[in-house]
Every structure is written in C-alpha cells, then in structure tokens.
Structure 1
Amino acid sequence: MRIHHLNCGSLRKIPPLGTEPTADVAHRERAAVCHCLLIETDSDGLVLVDTGLGTADLRHPERSLGADWVAYARPALDPEESALRQVVRLGYAPRDVRHIVLTHLHRDHTGGLPDFPHARVHVHPDEYRSVTDPAAPHHRHSLDRFMSAHRAHHPLLTPAVAVRDGEWFGFRDVARPRGLAGELLLVPLPGHSAGHAGVAVRDGDGRWLLHAGDAYMHHGEIEHTPPRSHPALDPVQQGAQTDAAARVLTRDRLRGLRRDHADEVTVLSAHDPWEFARLTARAGS
C-alpha cells in the first residue's frame, strides 16, 4: 500500500501564526489547501479520501461552488490541481479510482465526485442519513451544502457499516466502508457536519494516518497550548458547524489522541498548508 498526499485545490492565502515549527518554510503566507489522500491498494484499486475541487468547479466556479463561497475562498482554479489530473500524472486511468471515502459532504470535499462517476462513494452512516432522510437532524442544512452540481450525476453514495463493538483509540461508533479489504475506517468526529467523520488508514509501516477533515482547520488547535485557531479560517468553521460544543469536544479529543498516541497515529486536517507541507516532505509525494 502507498499513500499519496494531494492538494486538490489551493484556496486563499493565509499568514502564519508563529506556531509553525522553525524547520518549516513557515515565515510567509501560504495558500490554504484541500488535502486529499490517494491510496494505492493491492485488492481495491485506488481509493481517494476526499476529492477537493473538481474539473467542472474549475471551469465554472460560481455556478458549481456558489458565488459567495468563491469570493471568500478565492480558489486558484488550477486544473492541474484536480484529483483527476493528478491521478493521470501518476500513471493511472480515472477508472482506477474505484472507491472514494469522504469525511463529509461539503463542497470543497465533494467537487471531484463528477470526475469519477463510476466510483463507489462511502460516507459515515450519520452523514448519509443527513442528506437522504428528510426527518434526519440538519437535513436541509446538509443538503444545501452538498452542492447540486456535485450530485447531479447521482453518485453511488453508500453508508459505511457500523463495526460491532467498534472502537478506535477510544473513539466509538466506528464504521467500515463496504467492500474494502484494507484497514480503513470512518471515525465519528462530530460537530462540523451532521455526520462528520475522520478517515483512518493504516499504512505499510503499520502506523495509522487519520484524515480529520474539518474537525480542526489549523495545527495550532491540536498542537498548541492553549489551542490556537486561525482567524482567517474561524469564519469558515463557525459558518459551517452544526454543533459548536461537539466540535470543540472533538478537537480536544484529537489533542489527546495526538498527545498520547503520537507514536501510533498521525493526525492531519483538510486545509492547513503548513501541515500539508510537512507531510508531503516526509512522504516524498
């Protein structure tokens, strides 16, 4: 198994806060990222974790993503950053992406879905219910944020299966994507969306990598004491979250996970550019 770190959409530039390790190229502003993972597996083809912005988003951003979001996020709109183009540059065909696992169904995570219409799309059961069941909590909120342009092709949206007595480093109600043989789990990280979940995958060296989606947006939230968020990203979090108290609790649990299990688990978020730079330098991808 090989895991690639991909930036599938550069967004507005943000300044450093001074919490970045001095080894980072950190003393300048960086563009926020849409941090996705591409996993090469032996039995399940390619697995994409989140999709960032897709090719249609880049051609027609206001129509696909919404004018207000584009005005605030300021996406770079570089076609070469799309997951589709990056998969091809690695020597694969788009159809080799057989599975997509999403942390949640917000626009900067689902934009690439139309580029892989054949792939099965896995989400946590709570996130699935939030967009398919009108009686589910936050249904309208969730459906409004799952952009119509990203679901017009009727993606093969599939709820993951709850793991019996499912627990992962103390996180409960863990679910497993259907039909995947590898060690990959959806770990509930509530607060940001109705069924927001992290995606945990065990790499070839036996370490876990947890893509925490938007459970936090800046490494200072889990690495700094006291937690330090980024003022440029705070409005995004506050505008999207469904439960502020649950999100703060999730953040604190991730702080504990990083503190107590740093030798077993690496935690990453979706948009922090300094975190992305560290991980790509370490992985060589």
Structure 2
Amino acid sequence: MIRGRTRRLVALALTLVPLALLANSFRAAPLLAPAPLPDPLPPASPPADVALFQLPTGVTHRSAAFAYRGGSFRDARDFAMTAALVKHPRGDLLVDTGFGRDVDTHFQRMPFLFRAITSYEQGRSAAEQLDATGYDRTRLRGILLTHAHWDHVSGIPEFPGVPVLVNADERRFVDEGGWRTAIARIGPPRFDTYAFEGGAYLGFPRSHDVYGDGSIVVVPASGHTPGSVIVFVALANGHRYAFVGDLAWQREGITEREERPWLARTFADGDPDQVRENLVHMAAIATRFPELTLVPAHDARAFGALPTL
C-alpha cells in the first residue's frame, strides 16, 4: 500500500514539475542590461517629401503574457497586422503587407495547434486601401519584408509583378521553411535579393541603405528567422523609426528586455539566443536615443502614432 502511494506521489510530482516550469517561464526575467552604446545617430538626408503611413489590415487577439515574459494574462492586446508605406521620390516601399484579402485561406494552411489558439479579425488589405485612395501603383518600387512569415506576406499576391525585397538568408528560408513560409511561395512572387554592402549602423556590423540618403536603412537581425531584418526610417522633419519586425511582438520586449515566454519562443523563434542578443542591442539603442520610435510589427500602440494614408 505504501509503495502504491509512493508511485502515485511520484507520478503527481512528475506532472506538477513540468507545469511549474512552464508557469515560471511567464514570469519577468529581464535580460542583462547592455553596455552603453557609444555610436552617434547616423546622419541622414531624406528628401523633404519622404512620408510614412500605416495601412492596418487586421488584428489577432492575444495577451501581454503571450508577447513577453512578465506580461499579464489579463492584459488583452490586439496584435496589429499592419503594413507601412514609405513614400519616397525615387519610388515607394511597403514594409510588409499584413493580411491579404485571402487571409482566411492562408490561415487554413497553418498547423492545427496554431489555429486552435489563434483568433483574428480581417480588415481591408493594403492593396485595397491603396486602390481606394487612387494610389498610383507604378510608384511602388517594392515590398520590403522584415521576414517571411504568413502574417507579413499574406497580401503579396495582390501586388503582381512588384518586387519583394529580401536578403539571401531570408530568400533561402522562403524556399526551405516548409509551412512557415508556404504563403510566401504563393504565386510565386518576384523576389529581388539585396546585399548588406554598407558598413556598421548603430552597432549592427552591416547595413543596406536603400536610396543612399539614410531615409531607409536595413540591418540584419537574425534569430526569429534566418534573414530577419530591422528597417530604420528617417523623415525630413527629424523623426526616426525602427521597424523591428518580430524581434519583439510588443515594445516591452525591448524596453524591459523581456524575451518571449518559453512556449512562444520555442514555437516562433528559429534561434532564441540570437533573438536575445538583438533584443539587448536594440534596448541599448532605445536607451541611447529615446527619440527613436520603436515599431514592433504587432504593437498597435506604435502604429497608432502613424497617420493612415
């Protein structure tokens, strides 16, 4: 009888210990504070008519606890699915596309577990919003991806012939990423691969200055995906933005140096160690330049500060 009770206690312990470890992974655990960033803000000379707009295409319903360690399950958050339009006299760029009009079909291609824990609301696609304003699509030079996951590329099929700008690592990931990049292969799109031919930028060792005037500068920030990037945008009025993609889902990931909980990062991040390194580095940049607006791809508060087209 004692042995039977012991076995039951051991079985209970083996059940409770993993649950306790899982619960602990949601508790706040700030990453180590970074060393002060010595770099000055890089110079930029954007043309006077460079402009930045948001194109909200929908939301998914989450909580802060899902986004970063220390977030509350009671803190409901609508995760933005938003494209950004950068208007430039040498050709406009979309940063990601958000949800396309066929997002319902795209969503069904995701794994069952993901679909079971995900609810979303679809808005007008980026293409529909541009067309509604009478936007001249010949102005669109390309779609610049922060990375190739489904919720960032769902709208690409509505821009036939428009180049999709990715680096070589992300281009390879599109081909080899299985279900994670299945939506990015629909069409297929016309991919244009760029290189990081520029020098260091805010402590990142390499960069790609799209127009050579500092208005749009891309730096590699792998981890979430192999070719994830951060897109820095500078406007003529002095305002600067950092579109960090899914390096952090909400800005607290950077400002509080909190990575995603274990379950989320295991499912979402290809290289969690690299994500941590880039989170800490972006935290140093944010501390050094508080005037820089952080725009995580799914933080509705950050996009809320941008005008709509």
* Pairwise same-fold verdict (TM > 0.5): yes
Q: Are residue 257 (structure 1) and residue 285 (structure 2) matched?
A: yes
State how 1:73-222 maps to structure 2 within 5 Å: 73-78=118-123, 80=124, 82-132=125-175, 140=176, 142-147=177-182, 149-164=183-198, 166-177=199-210, 183-222=215-254
Contact 1:103 1:198 in 2 (8 A): yes
How far does residue 68 in structure 1 lie from its aligned partner after superposition?
4.1
8 Å contact 2:233–2:240 — kept in the other structure?
yes
8 A contact 1:57–1:65 mirrored in 2: no
Q: Does 1:273 align with 2:308?
A: no
What amino acid does structure 2 have at the position aligned with 1:9? Answer: G
Task: Provide the rounded CA distance (Å) in 2 between the counterparts of 1:108 and 1:93.
Answer: 25
Contact 2:52 2:87 in 1 (8 A): yes
Q: Which AA in structure 2 matches 1:175?
A: H
Q: How far apart, CA to CA, are the structure 2 residues paired with 1:88 and 1:65?
A: 29
1:190-234 Cα deviation digits (max 9, x unpaired): 21101111112221223331100001112212223xx34576xx6
* 8 A contact 1:41–1:182 mirrored in 2: no
- Tell me the CA shift for residue 180 of structure 1: 8.2
User: Residue in 1 aligned with 2:276?
Assistant: 248
How far 1:71 sits from its partner (Å)?
3.1
State whether residues 54 and 115 of structure 1, in contact with CA within 8 Å, keep that contact through their aligned partners in structure 2: yes
Instruction: Give ranges in structure 2 of 5+ residues lacking alignment.
Output: 1-49, 69-73
What's the TM-score once normalised by structure 2's chain length? Answer: 0.72
Amino acid at match of 1:110: V
Aligned to 1:5: 54
Q: Which has the higher contact order (CA 8 A, sep 6+)?
A: 2
The answer as to 2:116 corresponding to 1:71 is yes
Q: Map 1:27-46; keep pairs closer than 5 Å.
A: 29-44=76-91, 46=92
CA–CA distance in structure 1, aligned partners of residues 145 and 78 of structure 2: 22
Report deviation, 1:116: 0.5
Find the aligned partners of 1:64 and 1:48 in 2 and give their Cα distance.
24
Q: Which TM-score applies when normalising by structure 1?
A: 0.78
Alpha-carbon distance change, 247 to 182 in structure 1, aligned in 2, over 3 angstroms:
closer
Gaps of 5+ in 1: 20-26, 133-139
Aligned-pair RMSD on alpha carbons? Answer: 2.8
Q: Please, which of 94, 97, 102 is the counterpart of residue 48 of structure 1?
A: 94
Contact 1:210–1:267, Cα closer than 8 Å, also in 2: yes
Structure 1 moving runs of 4+ over 6 Å: 179-182
Matched letter for residue 30 of structure 1: R
> Residues 104, 207 of structure 1: CA spacing in aligned structure 2 closer, same or farther, 3 A cutoff?
same
In structure 2, C-alpha distance between the alignment counterparts of 1:62 and 1:216, rounded to whole Å: 22
What's the CA shift for 1:94? 4.5
SS in 2 for 1:192: coil
